[in-house]
Amino acid sequence: MTTEIGGTLRRTALYDAHRALGARIVPFGGFEMPVQYTSILAEHEAVRKRAGLFDLSHMAQFALRGAGVGAWAETLTVNNVENMKGGQARYNIFTNERGGAHDDVIFYRLGDERWLLVVNAGNADKMWAHVSAERAGDVELENLHGERALVAIQGPRAVEWLQPYVEAELAAMKYYSCAETRVKGTRAPILIARTGYTGEDGFELFLPSDEATGVWDLLLAENRERGLAPCGLGARDVLRLEAGMPLYGHEMTEEITPLQAGLAWAIKFDKPAFCGKEALLAQRDAGDYARIVGLTMEGRVPARAGYPVFAGATQAGEVRSGSFGPAVGKNIATALVEPLAAPDGTALEVEVRGVRHAAVVTPLPFYRRPKAS
């Protein structure tokens, strides 16, 4: 069950902790990862109402060093990199010549010449090969995949429950900022970022692997009885779908461009040059591209990735992600559809096992967290 064709599965530093917590383990991105500890719905609720703790150590961390990193990365990605300040994190996308996505990533600028790049687990090898092949001038790369752990605490209580263990004043950190700070149980300061993939407030902690279990146990020791729940990748996928966040391989691929994925805000067409710029400009100007939309199913039948989507008698696209959305109370999905089928409120149908079921195009995100008081 946990074998993968053509490769050996790796384990994160927290594998034993997951087993001890009764997690169900599945292969994901080359690692044996917890998909759930109790139930996806219970873990989802913990994150929306209190906070959840995630092991994301399967994601690949690349250290980038050198005065040339910013300028170099500008040419490979759609968003701005060089103008990031120390202590800033920024979402970005590495593109191919056709404007498709190699991966969506986050850059963290630790200092003038020190950066961290976090890429998806499933793209780790491809991305390492890509950045290595494109490496130029004053850029040093170090692949920390599997050597560094990543633990996230996500939810409205994240500040309160993490703060006692951290020197930095968490409430003062802005969304998408990062800081190197002392954390109880670690030898040296570690990077903490106010980033996440759940639609809630929260933090991600980048740790040496041998310190991961200590910090994980510390965070659960006092907070678990208050309601901090260890959460698996199952809940994480539902949370990100509700929050309208793309998942590589679903809403974005080597073929589905960031423009199609609704990420125009991240594409800086005023940059002098970047890989895929001409293709993306042409796609934008033509305007007739299929695009990712949100779908809400009207009945009780869930839509799933790959199901065909119809506008009247015509196939208008296909579902790319689908799940029950607990915060919405309905089945929700994303679909890649032709422009005519894309306006909000359009009535479409999803074909499920040969039967068509009503769906309506719904603006993303499906869920937005209440404003902090």
Partner 1 sequence: MAQPAGLLYSKEHEWVKLDGDVATVGITDYAQAALGDIVYVELPRVGATLEQFGGIGVVESVKAVSDIFTPVGGEVTAVNDAIEADPALVNRDPFGGGWLFKVQLADVSQTDALMSPEAYDQLVSQA
Q: Which stretch binds partner 1 (CB under 8 A): 104-112, 178-186, 321-329, 362-370?
A: 321-329
Binding of residue 358 to partner 1 (CB under 8 A):
no
Q: How far is CA 250 from the centre of its chain?
A: 12
Q: Contacting partner 1 (CB under 8 A), which of 53, 84, 116, 238?
A: 238
CA distances from 60 to 127, 149, 251 (A): 9, 9, 20
Query: Residue 101: what are its φ and ψ, rounded to 5°?
Result: -105, 125
Q: What length is written for the chain?
A: 373
Close Cβ partners of 266 (under 8 Å, ≥ 6 residues apart): 78, 79, 91, 92, 93, 258
Query: Residue 279: what are its φ and ψ, rounded to 5°?
Result: -65, -40
Binding of residue 301 to partner 1 (CB under 8 A):
yes
Q: Which stretch binds partner 1 (CB under 8 A): 36-44, 145-153, 251-259, 342-350?
A: 36-44
Q: Which stretch binds partner 1 (CB under 8 A): 6-14, 38-46, 147-155, 179-187?
A: 38-46
Binding of residue 242 to partner 1 (CB under 8 A):
no
CA distances from 358 to 171, 264, 266, 326, 353 (A): 44, 29, 32, 19, 14
What is the residue whose two structure tokens read 């096992």? 353
Q: Which is nearer to partner 1, 150 or 233 (CB)?
A: 233
User: Where is 203: in which H helix or E strand?
Assistant: strand 202-208
Binding of residue 371 to partner 1 (CB under 8 A):
no
Binding of residue 52 to partner 1 (CB under 8 A):
no
Q: Contacting partner 1 (CB under 8 A), which of 300, 314, 345, 373?
A: 300
Q: Which is nearer to partner 1, 238 or 341 (CB)?
A: 238
Q: Which is nearer to partner 1, 24 or 174 (CB)?
A: 24
For the bound state, the minimum distance from the C-beta of residue 32 to partner 1, rounded and expressed in Å, comes to 17
In 135-211, where does DSSP find H-type helix? 158-162
Q: Specify the 3-state DSSP secondary structure of 281.
A: helix
What the block records as the tokens of 34 is 């917890």
Q: Which stretch binds partner 1 (CB under 8 A): 62-70, 165-173, 281-289, 301-309?
A: 301-309
Q: Which residues bind partner 1 (CB under 8 A)?
A: 36, 39-41, 234, 237-238, 300-302, 304, 323-324, 326, 331, 353
